[in-house]
Structure 1
Amino acid sequence: MSAAHRTPETDAHGEAPGIVRWDLAAAAAARITPPGPKMSARAMQAAVASMRRHAEASVDHVHRITGLEAARDLRDSTVLVVDRAGWSRANAQTFQVLMEPAVEALRRRRPEQFGAAATALGGTATAMEMAAVLGFLSAKVLGQYDPYAGLVSALAEQRHPGGRLMLVAPNILTVERELNV
Structure 2
Amino acid sequence: MSSSPSMVDWDLAGRTARRLVGPGPETTREEAAAVVRELHEAAATAVAHVEGLTGLRARPDGPRPEIAVVDRPGWVDANTAGMAALLDPLVDALAEKQDARPGPLATAIGSRATGVQAGGILAFLSSRVLGQYEVFGTGGRLLLVAPNVVDAERRLGVDPSDFRLWVCLHEVTHQLQFTAVPWLRDHLEAQIGEFIEATDLSPDVLRERLRDVLRSLGDAVRGIEGGDDGGLMALIRDPAQRAVLDRVTAVMSLVEGHAEFVMDGVGPDVVPSVRTLRKRFAQRRKGRGPLDRVLRRLLGLEQKMKQYADGRHFVAGVVDRVGMEGFNRVWSGPETLPRIEELTDPDRWVERVHGRPAIPA
Q: Does 1:61 align with 2:49?
A: yes
The one-letter amino acid paired with 1:113 is P
The one-letter amino acid paired with 1:103 is V
How many residues are aligned here?
154
Instruction: Could you tell me which runs of 5 or more consecutive residues in structure 1 were left unpaired when the two chains were aligned.
Output: 1-12, 153-161
The one-letter amino acid paired with 1:92 is T
Instruction: Could you tell me which runs of 5 or more consecutive residues in structure 2 were left unpaired when the two chains were aligned.
Output: 160-361
Q: Which has the greater radius of gyration? A: 2
Q: How does 1:149-168 map to 2 (within 5 A)?
A: 149=137, 152=138, 163-168=140-145
SS in 2 for 1:28: helix
- What is the deviation of 1:70? 5.1
- Mapped to 2, the partners of 1:80 and 1:74 lie a distance apart of 19
- Mapped to 2, the partners of 1:123 and 1:46 lie a distance apart of 41
Quick one: structure 1 residues 58 and 65, their matched pair in 2 at CA, closer, same or farther if it must change by over 3 Å? same
| Aligned position for 1:42 | 30
SS in 2 for 1:64: helix
| Aligned position for 1:5 | none
| Aligned position for 1:128 | 116
- What is the deviation of 1:29? 0.7
- What is the deviation of 1:83? 0.8
TM-score normalised to the size of structure 1? 0.74
Q: Does 1:86 align with 2:63?
A: no
Quick one: structure 1 residues 145 and 45, their matched pair in 2 at CA, closer, same or farther if it must change by over 3 Å? same
Give the ranges of 4+ consecutive aligned residues of structure 1 lying more than 6 Å apart after TM superposition: 71-75
Higher percent of residues as strand: 1
| Aligned position for 2:11 | 23
- What is the deviation of 1:102? 1.3
Q: Does 1:176 align with 2:153?
A: yes
SS in 1 for 2:73: helix
- Mapped to 2, the partners of 1:122 and 1:148 lie a distance apart of 25
Structure number with higher relative contact order (C-alpha < 8 Å, ≥ 6 residues apart): 1
**Contact map agreement 1:31 1:85 (CA 8 A) in 2:** no
SS in 1 for 2:110: helix
SS in 1 for 2:102: helix
CA displacement, residues 25-49 of structure 1 (integer Å, 9 cap, x when unaligned) = 1111111111111111122111111
The one-letter amino acid paired with 2:75 is W
Quick one: structure 1 residues 23 and 129, their matched pair in 2 at CA, closer, same or farther if it must change by over 3 Å? same
Percent identity for Structure 1 against Structure 2: 38
SS in 1 for 2:18: helix
- What is the deviation of 1:55? 0.9
SS in 2 for 1:113: coil
- What is the deviation of 1:107? 2.6
SS in 2 for 1:144: strand
| Aligned position for 1:156 | none
Quick one: structure 1 residues 26 and 58, their matched pair in 2 at CA, closer, same or farther if it must change by over 3 Å? same
- Mapped to 2, the partners of 1:173 and 1:165 lie a distance apart of 18
Quick one: structure 1 residues 19 and 177, their matched pair in 2 at CA, closer, same or farther if it must change by over 3 Å? same
SS in 2 for 1:29: helix
**Of 87, 92, 102, which residue of structure 2 is paired with 1:113?**
102
Quick one: structure 1 residues 72 and 167, their matched pair in 2 at CA, closer, same or farther if it must change by over 3 Å? farther
Q: Does 1:104 align with 2:92?
A: yes
SS in 2 for 1:165: strand
| Aligned position for 2:20 | 32
- Mapped to 1, the partners of 2:25 and 2:61 lie a distance apart of 33
TM-score normalised to the size of structure 2? 0.39
The one-letter amino acid paired with 1:104 is D
The one-letter amino acid paired with 2:12 is L
- What is the deviation of 1:92? 1.2
Quick one: structure 1 residues 41 and 75, their matched pair in 2 at CA, closer, same or farther if it must change by over 3 Å? farther
Higher percent of residues as helix: 2
